[in-house]
């Protein structure tokens, strides 16, 4: 073997030394450059919402304990005055940094929210992380709120009434539903209803009437409101001929339950509010939100109720039920936008969302939590419903309540045909969307 020269030995030694330095640097044992400290966000954030402080206080205490550099203060506002108080506070520059946003107020706050850009929260991640009902908070330019909970419309039923009348299982589609109406609706000799299968057909004394009707409409594949090619919100109640006929059929089906001449007849305007009739054990089926369960049980602890999924169109290729979605939104007037976004992200972690949903009697908006196997007696069907539930871009809840009420009343009183009533409602909602 040829003997190495001194120059070659030095060169090889230097090469081995540099290789060792490179390995240690790559492994993290040696840091190159300045050792900058990780930037941490800290400070106080204020939040408003309609969830009782007794619930939120415990959730935020745990968050503040784990993230001691962040202090979240929460203020409870009565649901009836929330929208007005928040709008007035924002106008005076005194509003909160963040707030819990109900889906039906999303339009009201389009220009008062700092939308989260898709650069910070990619659209693909949003759709992967949250159930489809959360899409109500997405716009072409960003996310209005990060979804926390989904409160789906479900079918409550009185198990004792079904047992007594030989109905083994609650109906899963509307054809089956119609079949059991004559079995469960009781009338006296004067054809007056003494006990009812279901409260449908009317509007004023049917709790959640608008949401039941919009569920029927969405089950035909109609979103009720959508963005057009110019990103402008438009009503879709009159979309194309085929779907228009389906909507007419859906509304006729709804109003048939208030027509004494039809087999579905089971409800009239002289009866009590449907939720009261159900808790008094005179109603077999009640369409309500999952969060109503404590109310129903508190009103009648002996009520033998169960929860089933909302009936669907027979042989439909998809399922739909209306839902209320709650998200956390960042005010455009927040003092520290970055801190508010950090808190919003903390609120969507699995632990917070799971506890928030449990405390409010709703389903979590996170897909991974909806896959949880539950031993609870009532929530499995709530979780199933949350996965396929949807909402719609309601321009003004109080105004559209009147639109739908008028539509139903006009059909029942023969003031207009079903087609004309839907056409009029379409125009009225379009006007609300451009206000």
- What is the rounded distance in angstroms from the CA atom of residue 97 to the CA atom of residue 46? 5
Q: Tell me, yes or no, if the pTM score tops 0.85.
A: yes
Instruction: Report the b/e string of 372-382 with b at 16+ CB within 10 A.
Output: eeeeeebbebb
Torsion of CA 398, 139, 142, 100, to 10 degrees: 20
Looking at the predicted structure, is the pLDDT value of residue 18 above 50? no
- What is the rounded distance in angstroms from the CA atom of residue 288 to the CA atom of residue 177? 16
Q: For residue 354, what are the CA distances in angstroms to 55, 59, 150, 285, 415?
A: 13, 11, 12, 29, 49
Q: What CATH superfamily classification does 43-151+323-384 receive? A: Periplasmic binding protein-like II (3.40.190.10)
Confidence at residue 374, expressed as pLDDT on a 0 to 100 scale: 80
Parse the chain into domains and list their residue ranges.
43-151+323-384, 153-320+392-434
Best CA proximity match to 222, nearest among 249, 198, 246: 246
Classify residue 188 as exposed, middle or buried by CB count within 10 Å of its CB (0-12, 13-18, 19+): exposed
Q: Is 318 helix (H, G, I), strand (E, B) or coil?
A: coil
Q: What is the pLDDT of residues 116-170, one digit of tens each?
A: 999 999 999 999 999 999 999 999 999 999 999 999 999 999 999 999 999 999 9
The pLDDT confidence band at residue 241, using thresholds 50, 70 and 90, is confident
Q: For residue 18, what are the CA distances in angstroms to 14, 35, 180, 399?
A: 6, 22, 83, 74
Q: What is the pLDDT of residues 189-198, one digit of tens each?
A: 888 899 999 9
Confidence at residue 64, expressed as pLDDT on a 0 to 100 scale: 82
The pLDDT confidence band at residue 37, using thresholds 50, 70 and 90, is very low
Tally Cβ neighbours within 10 Å of residue 144: 23
| 43-151+323-384 and 153-320+392-434 agree in CATH topology | yes
The domain 153-320+392-434 is placed in CATH, from the list 3.40.50.1820, 3.40.190.10, 3.40.47.10, 3.40.50.2020, at 3.40.190.10
Confidence at residue 25, expressed as pLDDT on a 0 to 100 scale: 37
Q: What is the pLDDT of residues 181-221, one digit of tens each?
A: 999 999 998 888 999 999 999 999 999 999 999 999 999 99
Confidence at residue 66, expressed as pLDDT on a 0 to 100 scale: 84
**Mean pLDDT across the stretch 69-76?**
93
Cβ 84 vs Cβ 304: under 8 Å:
no
Confidence at residue 5, expressed as pLDDT on a 0 to 100 scale: 56
């Amino acid at each position: 073997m040829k003997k190495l020269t001194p120059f070659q030995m030095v060169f090889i030694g230097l090469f081995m030394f540099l290789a060792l330095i490179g390995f240690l640097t790559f492994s993290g044992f040696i840091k190159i450059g300045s050792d900058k400290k990780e930037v941490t966000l800290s400070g106080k954030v204020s939040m408003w919402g309609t969830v009782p402080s007794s619930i939120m206080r415990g959730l935020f205490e745990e968050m503040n304990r784990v993230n001691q550099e962040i202090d979240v203060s929460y203020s409870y506002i009565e649901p009836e005055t929330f929208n007005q108080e928040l709008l007035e506070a924002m106008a005076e520059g005194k509003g909160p940094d963040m707030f819990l946003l109900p889906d039906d107020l999303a339009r009201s706050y389009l220009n008062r929210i700092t939308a989260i850009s898709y650069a910070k929260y990619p659209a693909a991640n949003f759709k992967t992380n949250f159930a489809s009902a959360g899409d109500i908070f997405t716009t072409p330019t960003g996310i209005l709120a990060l979804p926390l909970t989904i409160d789906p419309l479900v079918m409550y039923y009185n198990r004792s009434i079904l047992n007594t009348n030989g109905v083994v299982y609650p109906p899963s589609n509307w054809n089956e539903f119609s079949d059991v109406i004559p079995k469960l609706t009781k009338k006296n000799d004067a054809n007056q209803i003494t006990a009812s299968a279901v409260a449908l057909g009317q509007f004023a004394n049917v709790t959640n009437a608008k949401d039941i009707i919009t569920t029927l409409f969405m089950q035909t594949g109609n979103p009720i409101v959508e963005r057009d090619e110019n990103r402008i919100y438009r009503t879709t109640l009159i979309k194309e001929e085929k779907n228009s006929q389906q909507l007419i059929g859906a509304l006729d089906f709804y109003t048939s339950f208030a027509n004494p001449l039809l087999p579905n007849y089971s409800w009239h305007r002289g009866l009590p509010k449907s939720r009261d009739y159900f808790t008094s054990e005179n109603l077999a089926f009640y369409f309500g939100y999952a969060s109503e369960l404590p109310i129903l049980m508190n009103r009648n602890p002996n009520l033998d109720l169960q929860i089933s999924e909302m009936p669907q169109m027979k042989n439909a290729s998809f399922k739909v039920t209306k839902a209320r979605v709650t998200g956390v939104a960042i005010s455009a007037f927040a003092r520290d936008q970055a801190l508010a976004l950090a808190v919003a992200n903390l609120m969507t972690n699995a632990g917070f969302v799971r506890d928030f949903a449990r405390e409010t009697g709703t389903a979590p908006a996170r897909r991974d939590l909806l896959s949880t196997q539950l031993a609870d007696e009532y929530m499995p069907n709530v979780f199933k419903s949350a996965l396929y539930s949807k909402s719609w871009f309601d321009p003004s809840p109080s105004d559209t309540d009147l639109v739908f009420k008028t539509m139903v009343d006009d059909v029942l009183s023969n003031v207009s045909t079903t087609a004309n009533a839907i056409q009029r409602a379409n125009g009225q909602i379009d006007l609300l969307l451009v206000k």
